[in-house]
Structure 1
């Protein structure tokens, strides 16, 4: 199971030096390519285990991926959606789909989680998967779907950088 180039920014001094507060949650960063076995189990990237570790929630993500969220982050998102007016049809529909596809998980002693068949089917996951860090959550993608998505967004990534990013000195 290859685990290239991922990072976890969890150091209080790093968070503070980046203009944040020491209480900021660690960021899940990087791209990993674990294998999924025939039973739907896959090892969490080692760098994510401390953050996602003891309890996490898997849910339907956008663009046919599976979200991996620490339990606290999942609760924060669910509460935020629930605070949207019950008169808002789009919010009700999103909440139904999001919560009905959510599953609590605890990694086993080897750091593996079981991706339930419903979520594997939703995201078209087979043996070849990619796990990406996306800040406070991770996403599981079918490897080919991720490569196609990344290729299709590459030019747009460059084109919109000036509009999306504030002035940042690298």
Structure 2
């Protein structure tokens, strides 16, 4: 289970260090094998342990390829999916095309989302978070959430 907001610096080669608190869990669940792809709705990356990604990819592949929306998702998500291996120092090399898509430079944010991470430019995440908070002020709580005690 991945959670939390983690500020990280990318090095000059495009490598990011996975925070130490996640490394053992990533090694245990997928032997350091991860998959990164683009988020088609937001300019960020999605980072999955290999097994999680394989389940999602099966579902995406099963979508009807003659449906234009399904085909778009197949091309974007599977087409950009890239296998990444965490090195002995807990680092991942993010390929240039993925970094460019998400606008990643020196300062990034690794955002835990349960069974996956999102990787954001620090400034884009701050803007998006603030937009979410503004929208939430006037939004009606979904019925499923009303029974939760926070």
Q: Is TM more than 0.5 here? A: yes
Q: 2:57 aligns with which of 78, 83, 86?
A: 78
Is the partner of 1:64 in helix, strand or coil?
coil
1-structure distance, mates of 2:26, 2:55: 15
What whole-Å deviation, never above 9, does each CA across 1:1-37 have from its counterpart, x for those lacking one?
xxxxxxxxxxxxxxxxxxxxxxxxxx21000011100
1:169: Cα distance to partner?
2.6
Give 5+ residue unaligned stretches, structure 2.
none
1:161: Cα distance to partner?
6.1
Q: Is the 8 A contact 1:128 1:143 kept in 2?
A: yes
Q: TM-score, normalised by structure 2?
A: 0.89
Is the partner of 1:34 in helix, strand or coil?
strand
What whole-Å deviation, never above 9, does each CA across 1:135-169 have from its counterpart, x for those lacking one?
11101100000000001110223444621514113
**Whose strand fraction is larger, Structure 1's or Structure 2's?**
2
1:116: Cα distance to partner?
0.4
More relative contact order, 1 or 2 (CA 8 Å, 6+ apart)? 2
Q: TM-score, normalised by structure 1?
A: 0.79
Give 5+ residue unaligned stretches, structure 1.
1-26
Which shifted more, 49-58 or 95-104? 49-58
Q: CA RMSD in A?
A: 1.5
- After the TM superposition, list the runs of 4 or more consecutive aligned residues in structure 1 that deviate by more than 6 angstroms: none
